[in-house]
Amino acid sequence: LGVAQIISSLANPVLAPELRVTMSGFCISLPPHFHDTLSNVVTKINNGHPPQYQVRLSIHNGRTFVGKAVVVEDIEYVSGAGMLEVNHDIKVDNLPGDQLVVVF
């Protein structure tokens, strides 16, 4: 039998290359009636203006958050579909080229 590669926490860290990722067609599904409930409250507080959404994207590599969070504005609510939609590209800089990185 062969020996598999052993990964040790004592091994010297290896720098991963940094990447720039561009996401397009970004959508977020909302829970049922979320927008309607929020609209009723916000419209009363905000002089008749509907809610404006803002999304914060954070990058995680399985151990810690890496890089800077990206705040996305100019998000549209798609009525009938119950989702938020971003109609422009989202650029995420300084993303480690690590296979364990997750964007959420």
The per-residue pLDDT string of the chain (104 residues; one tens digit each, 9 = 90 and over) reads 455 555 566 666 667 778 888 889 889 999 988 899 998 888 888 888 888 889 898 887 777 787 788 999 989 999 888 899 999 999 888 777 766 666 65
The pLDDT of residue 86: 92
- C-alpha–C-alpha distance, residues 23 and 3, integer Å: 40
Whether pTM > 0.75 for this model: the answer is no
